[in-house]
A and B are shown apart, each in its own frame.
Chain A
Amino acid sequence: MSNHKTSLSKVSHQQRIGDQPWLRRLLIGLAFLLVGSLLVLPLIAIFAQALSAGLNIFWVNLSDKYTLHAIGLTLLVAALTVPLNLVFGVFLAWLVTRFEFPGRRILMTLIDIPFAVSPVVAGLMYLLLYGSNGWVGGWLMENDLQLMFAWPGIVMVTVFITCPFVARELIPLMQQQGSSEEEAALSLGASGWQMFRRVTLPNIKWALLYGVVLTNARAVGEFGAVSVVSGNIRGETNTLPLHVELLYQDYNLVGAFTSATLLAALALLTLVVKTFLEWRQQQSAS
């Protein structure tokens, strides 16, 4: 016993690994170098390139009719995707955390499919199913409904890609909070809606907002799946990320980077909001 004690105290007097000043400086320096060259520098480059021909050209590029259309389409996709996945995510999280039923575990695993599948594959799946030669697509054609190579298809794949975000944020939180507050509300005479609005929603609101921000960021920025089902028709089915690529392939570098600044700015905004929401969530948890 006494032997054990002395050996322990010896260890605690020793320096921890990495405590030497030169090693610490080296590691910190390396981390900054990596973050700088891989993350910060490219971001600066986007803005530098976009503004390289002057502010005037930047505005001209931005007010280009196809660019404006791409912005509009991207906003439309986000505006449809986010509310859909918000409702879906809340329902799903509610279902798997408040009820016990056969297949519950499988359902919780299935939620992650969009994360596990490559977006390009997701796009192809939809194309095969709903395209003109697909199982459902043939029937749709007969009824004069076009989903693929049109905005509904873009919304469909974006919904698929982003559907886990809200549910994934809510499930652990709702599991941890348990259902006793909701039961208390019911036993005090609250209706289902009153319980949800006055007890459930306030308890999950920060996590919900966080999920929404992530969903929105992904919906706006999604490239792979959208590129498969969009058909890249300029002024019709071109979202902002696709537009950037088209301009780049046209050797219109300044134009491509101008559109890219919009996405980059949105990403930065998302980071700020995300950090704030994380902070709020920690506050309300403590």
Chain B
Amino acid sequence: MSIQIKQISKQFGDFQALKPLDLTINEGELVGLLGPSGSGKTTLLRIIAGLETADQGQILFSGKDVTNLHVRDRKVGFVFQHYALFRHMTVAENIAFGLDVLPKKQRPTKATIKQQVAELLDKVQLSHLANRYPAQLSGGQKQRIALARALAMQPRVLLLDEPFGALDAKVRKELRRWLRNLHDELGFTSVFVTHDQEEALEVSDRVVVMSQGQIEQEATPQDLYQQPASRFVYDFLGGVNVFEGEAASLKSNRLEQGKAWVAFPDGHKAEAGQLYLRSHELSLSNQPSAIAHLPLKIKAVSLIGAEVRVELEPLGWQSQDLWDITISHSEYNLWQPQRGNTCYAHPQAGQLFASNTEHQPRPINWQQGFALIKTA
């Protein structure tokens, strides 16, 4: 079932939770709504489910207007962040609930319900817990039961509100792969809300980034990562270092702040703005280069994991946050930077957001321009 959202808006008192927005979700798609808290993503999800009513606008399921349809008649599966299992019912009773409350004429026989519950429990691999109560389950188990309960009604749309938010990191990873597989197997349309960019990028077919009740960008995970449309998206995806500067008066391709500067490759003119550099799009050395003079002082070095993470503080120039740069272990072994050392960062690729516009950023790639030339 496809979902069409037309000019939906919502206000809570003085707070504009959603500004009028449009969004189309295709049949069989898995869409992640990504944003910080207060961005309106959960409100949007609850409006799609019918748990909240929109002030204005329309919701269509497969072209049919469901704006005024009650939640019980929309036949969507909804999974809550804190599971919302019925605490006084066993796992089996929880899963059977949707079938049990059907009107007599449509309700399957007791034996059929029992069999369907058994099948669902099998699907979520928790058959041995059928007679337990929710309080006796772990968080991951609870969420799988909540999913099984929603799936019992064979919904064509599955909505998940921060489904893995309350789980620990390992279980979360496992469950989101499992959700992806389940989605592919059963072919329903899914929308899930998350504030975890890694989760959104890993699971979704398409990511919708929201902020302050608006859609900032909708794109595939690849496009989103490679071409963030705004400063907000860039910031929110994380791991980014910002160099703010003015165009140098003498050398037109230099962005400078005090004594620190970055030289753009041939064909790029510098203009006042912010240069966004991801932590893996920079290299470090103990000498400045022809393309950048960005002195930094090492605050911390973390060798754990596949890469070496270095935390740095600007020396003689300003940045709102500390810089994070990841380098390979072999790069690290070349000169073994230590805490307290002074070093220099060299950009390889980045995006320039010009100060005077809110438009698309300008991608800048140094490797095309010229190779790293180290000056003595």
Contact = CB atoms under 8 A, between A and B. Distances in A.
Nearest to A194: B101
Contacts of A190: 72, 97, 101
Interface in A171-219: 180-181, 183-191, 194, 198-199, 202-203
Interface in A125-149: none
B101 A187 contact: no
B101 A189 contact: yes
Contacts of A286: 135
Contacts of B201: none
Interface of B: 49-51, 70-78, 80, 82, 84-88, 97-98, 101-102, 135, 146, 149-150, 152-153
Contacts of B78: 183-184, 187
18 contacts: A180-B80, A180-B84, A184-B146, A185-B86, A187-B72, A187-B77, A188-B97, A188-B149, A189-B72, A189-B73, A189-B98, A189-B101, A189-B102, A194-B101, A198-B86, A198-B97, A202-B88, A284-B88
Contact of A184 (B73, B75, B86): B86
Nearest to A284: B88
A183 B84 CA distance: 9
A203 B77 contact: no
Contacts of B76: 187
What does DSSP make chain A's interface, helix, strand, loop or mixed? helix
A187 B51 contact: yes
A191 B71 CA distance: 10
Contacts of B77: 187
A83 B89 CA distance: 27
B202 to A, nearest CB: 26
Residue picked from A189, A191, A199, most chain B C-beta under 10 Å: A189
A183 B97 CA distance: 13
Contacts of A198: 86, 97, 101
B101 A184 contact: no
A27 to B, nearest CB: 39
Interface residues of A, number: 18
A194 B72 CA distance: 12
A188 B150 CA distance: 7
Given A180-B82, A183-B84, A188 B49 contact: no
Given A185-B86, A187-B51, A188-B72, 16 more contacts: A180-B80, A184-B78, A184-B85, A185-B97, A185-B101, A186-B70, A186-B71, A187-B74, A188-B98, A188-B149, A189-B75, A189-B98, A189-B153, A190-B97, A194-B101, A198-B101
A203 B70 CA distance: 24
Contacts of B149: 184, 188
Contacts of A202: 86, 88
B72 A191 contact: yes
B71 A187 contact: yes
Among all A-B residue pairs, the 7 with the closest Cβ atoms: A188-B98, A180-B84, A187-B78, A184-B84, A190-B101, A202-B88, A194-B101
Contacts of A194: 101
Contacts of B98: 188-189
Contacts of B85: 181, 184
A183 B72 contact: no
Contact of B87 (A181, A186, A187, A188): A181
Interface in A250-282: none
A284 B135 CA distance: 10
Given A189-B102, A194-B101, A184 B88 contact: no
Nearest to B76: A187
B264 to A, nearest CB: 51
Nearest to A199: B86
A85 B188 CA distance: 47
A203 B101 contact: no
A241 B74 CA distance: 57
A188 B101 contact: yes
A87 to B, nearest CB: 22
A180 B166 CA distance: 15
A198 B94 CA distance: 11
Contacts of A284: 88
B107 to A, nearest CB: 11
Residue picked from A184, A186, A188, A198, most chain B C-beta under 10 Å: A188
A187 B88 CA distance: 18
